[in-house]
């Protein structure tokens, strides 16, 4: 697909974007010094970049700043009475708008709660909460006092929560009595209690927001503290910001790995603040005072960067939404856009695919004239979905690509720099600051236009990206920088191609992490959860393409006692037990779409599981070279299991 703008403006915009990108790489010092002016510094930085210990990078060395100050306090004089946080729940029917002054008050009360319980600079605080305003207060309160927050998605099961507790060792945990989804109450407190029971390093304190959703709520004094009571106790609190050196951590966010042990992505303070403030202008093209509506969850990186910090840093009202895109009807998101005059919206391809199945009239019932751009990210965006969204809404669609590890987009059109033409199915160009290389995964050589390659980034990573893996510098290097032969390049573990015009197209993962509706889950993690069932001897989990979610996990398991699955009832019962085991170990988000039972799994003669071949069969593709397979009958069993499903 060529450039559609035949007036020459399209080519001029591409050239302007390329020049901006070139300057960001060739003159990093001057470029990022200029972007850093978007941020308040207590002490000016002495050095823009320290890359003396590659691949580690330190940005704005010696400068002191505070993320909460930049997101809240500095806006008080100019826009204290203007909207900052707009909370909407279609699950409970509640909504509330907080001005910057009100948000400042709530964050100070929350910070005082933390200080009163001994939480101080460098301490970790775990946040396991639904999409409610108090979760945002907790995040901002943490960075205000220099504590390091770790937000864990509310759908994770106690065992997964306990793993993250033991890695971060938090001093305190925030939670709620319950969340809600599709009108169903999901009690959180029993999950937290069980996680704290099995964790080796449980926090000293738990602060709980009681929404009145769980009549069976049980509090354990003196550990458990009621949020409302503590809030009242600290009315009028004024907790000063803790000014952190730029490289000090702001938060930890866990992401799945191929080893089964989640990695704690560690983010700095100064670099992240600058990157987000810059991206709001350069990528999302949002002016202060203009509203952003991002539909993610605060448990994921999009929620951190573009529900909470990015918009607030920019002085933009941000919408925090608890609910589904189709309740009370499939027009709810567009009703919210119209009522709050949202200028920029950010959601996932999965959500758009869900809406695509609904009556299209819902997409046109509300006035969307305020909406300038619809950004989509989370998993590869297919051309038909992108085209449908653009045509149905009459709004430009911007595909962008990034990761938990980077914190902000790697590839995207950048309308705030130059409004380049967009190609459906493409995430456009490398974002400024990212030295993107497309390479042959086997040889490390650069891939030519049109050739499939691994998407990598030459260090230093720009500001805002992860600084290391929490507590494990060695794992950071070995995981991300040791996979390309002969070159120290950060691997995204994603395949991509680049066309003759320089546009990038994402093709999917190179490793054993799957992308379910924008949520990355390691197949190894799911396999370990399945094997938590005493009746399972061995299992292989693969990601299989799905028209709605992008990918779904599918399990192939060997049962210890074949008599348990001798008939249809036995198979159904065993499948249900395995699903429940995964729910208990990881949470429903990791539940396989299907569990197939076989008597052996396909392996090489050296014992390596042929996951790629299993995945190919599950997707109806050629399983590839099978010359090293130990028993060809194993693949026949996979075929038979799939045919019978």
Q: Quick: pLDDT tens for 336-354.
A: 999 999 999 999 888 888 8
Least confident piece of the model among 20-24, 92-96, 151-155, 335-339: 151-155
- 634 band by pLDDT with thresholds 50, 70 and 90: confident
What local confidence, expressed as pLDDT, does residue 585 receive? 85
| Reported pTM | 0.86
Q: Which residue has the higher pLDDT, 518 or 402?
A: 402
6 secondary structure, DSSP code? T
Which domains are seen in the chain, by residue range? Answer: 106-242 (3.40.50.980), 513-643 (3.30.300.30)
Which residue from 180, 92, 87, 100 is spatially nearest to 140, judged by alpha carbons? 100
What local confidence, expressed as pLDDT, does residue 602 receive? 86
* Phi (first) and psi of residue 25, to 5 degrees: -95, -40
Q: Give the Cα separation of 273 and 520 in Å (integer).
A: 24
- Residue 370 above 80 pLDDT? yes
What local confidence, expressed as pLDDT, does residue 4 receive? 46
Contact 247, 270 (CB under 8 A): yes
**Length of the chain (residues):** 645
Query: Distance between alpha carbon 111 and the CA centroid of its chain, in Å?
Result: 25
Tokens of 122: 């460098």
Query: Positive or negative CA dihedral for 486, 488, 494, 500?
Result: negative
Which residue from 566, 574, 619 is spatially nearest to 595, judged by alpha carbons? 574
Question: Exposed/middle/buried for 564, CB within 10 Å: 0-12, 13-18, 19+?
Answer: middle
Place of tokens 């106690």: 158
Angle at 240 between CA 239 and CA 242, to 5 degrees: 120
User: For 156-205, what is each residue's pLDDT tens digit?
Assistant: 889 889 999 999 999 999 999 999 999 999 999 999 999 999 999 999 99
Q: Give the Cα separation of 42 and 510 in Å (integer).
A: 43
Contact 538, 591 (CB under 8 A): no
- Other beta carbons within 10 angstroms of residue 55's beta carbon come to 18
- 77 band by pLDDT with thresholds 50, 70 and 90: very high
Tokens of 317: 């009202």
What local confidence, expressed as pLDDT, does residue 2 receive? 40
What local confidence, expressed as pLDDT, does residue 607 receive? 59
Place of tokens 């720099």: 417
Q: E strand or H helix at 555, and its extent?
A: strand 550-559
Mean pLDDT across the chain: 92
Say whether 387 sits in a helix, a strand or coil: helix
User: For 389-400, what is each residue's pLDDT tens digit?
Assistant: 999 999 999 999
- Other beta carbons within 10 angstroms of residue 11's beta carbon come to 15
- Residue 414 above 90 pLDDT? yes
Least confident piece of the model among 98-107, 258-267, 546-555: 258-267
What local confidence, expressed as pLDDT, does residue 627 receive? 61
Q: Give the Cα separation of 284 and 375 in Å (integer).
A: 8
Percent over 70 (pLDDT), the chain = 96
Q: Give the Cα separation of 643 and 595 in Å (integer).
A: 13
Q: Give the Cα separation of 442 and 316 in Å (integer).
A: 45
């Amino acid at each position: 697909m060529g450039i559609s703008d035949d007036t020459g403006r399209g080519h001029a915009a591409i050239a302007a974007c390329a020049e901006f990108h070139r300057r960001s790489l060739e003159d990093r010092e001057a470029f990022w010094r200029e972007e850093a002016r978007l941020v308040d510094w207590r002490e000016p930085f002495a050095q823009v970049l320290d890359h003396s210990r590659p691949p580690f990078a330190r940005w704005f060395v010696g400068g002191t700043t505070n993320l909460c100050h930049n997101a809240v306090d500095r806006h008080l004089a100019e826009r204290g009475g203007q909207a900052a946080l707009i909370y909407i729940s279609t699950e409970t029917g509640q909504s509330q708008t907080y001005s910057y002054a009100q948000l400042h008050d709530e964050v100070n009360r929350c910070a005082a709660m933390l200080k009163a319980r001994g939480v101080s600079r460098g301490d970790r605080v775990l946040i396991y909460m639904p999409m409610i305003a108090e979760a945002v207060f907790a995040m901002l309160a943490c960075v205000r006092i220099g504590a390091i927050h770790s937000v864990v998605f509310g759908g994770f099961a106690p065992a997964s929560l306990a793993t993250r507790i033991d890695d971060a060792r938090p001093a305190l945990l925030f939670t709620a009595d319950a969340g809600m989804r599709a009108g169903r109450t999901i009690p959180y407190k029993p999950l937290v209690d069980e996680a704290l029971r099995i964790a080796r390093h449980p926090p000293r304190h738990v602060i709980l927001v009681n929404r009145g959703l769980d009549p069976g709520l049980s509090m354990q004094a003196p550990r458990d503290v009621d949020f409302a009571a503590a809030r009242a106790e600290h009315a009028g609190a004024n907790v000063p910001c803790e000014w952190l050196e730029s490289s000090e951590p702001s938060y930890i966010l866990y992401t799945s790995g191929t080893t089964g042990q989640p990695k704690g992505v560690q983010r700095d303070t100064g670099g992240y603040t600058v990157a987000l403030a810059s991206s709001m202008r350069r990528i999302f093209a949002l002016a202060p005072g203009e509203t952003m509506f991002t539909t993610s969850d605060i448990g994921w990186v999009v929620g951190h960067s573009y529900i909470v910090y990015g918009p607030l840093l920019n002085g933009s009202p941000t919408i925090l939404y608890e609910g589904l895109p189709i309740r009370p009807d499939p027009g709810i998101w567009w009703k919210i856009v119209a009522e709050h005059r949202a200028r920029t919206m950010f959601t996932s391809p999965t959500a758009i695919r869900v809406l695509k199945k609904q009556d299209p009239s819902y997409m046109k019932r509300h006035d969307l004239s305020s909406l300038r751009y619809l950004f989509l990210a989370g998993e590869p965006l297919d051309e038909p979905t992108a085209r449908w969204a653009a045509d149905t809404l009459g709004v430009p669609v911007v595909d962008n690509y990034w990761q938990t590890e980077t914190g902000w987009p790697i590839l995207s059109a950048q309308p705030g720099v130059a409004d380049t033409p967009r190609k459906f199915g493409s995430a456009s160009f490398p974002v400024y600051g990212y030295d993107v290389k497309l390479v042959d995964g086997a040889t490390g050589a650069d891939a030519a236009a049109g050739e499939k390659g691994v998407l990598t980034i030459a260090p230093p990573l720009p500001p805002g990206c992860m600084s290391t893996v929490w507590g494990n510098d060695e794992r950071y290097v070995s995981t991300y920088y040791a996979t390309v032969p002969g070159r120290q390049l950060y691997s995204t573990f994603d395949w991509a191609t680049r066309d003759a015009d320089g546009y990038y197209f994402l093709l999917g993962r190179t490793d054993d992490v799957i992308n379910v509706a924008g949520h990355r889950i390691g197949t190894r993690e799911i396999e370990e959860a399945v094997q938590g069932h005493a009746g399972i001897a061995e299992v292989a989990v693969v990601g299989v393409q799905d028209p709605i979610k992008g990918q779904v996990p599918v399990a192939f398991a060997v049962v210890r006692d074949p008599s348990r699955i001798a008939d249809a009832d036995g198979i159904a019962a065993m499948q249900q037990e395995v699903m429940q085991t995964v729910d208990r170990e990881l949470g429903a988000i990791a539940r396989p779409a299907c569990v197939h039972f076989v008597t052996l799994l396909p392996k090489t003669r050296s014992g390596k599981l042929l996951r790629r071949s299993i995945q190919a069969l599950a997707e109806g593709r050629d399983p590839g070279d099978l010359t090293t397979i130990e028993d060809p009958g194993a693949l026949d069993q996979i075929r038979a299991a799939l045919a019978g499903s």
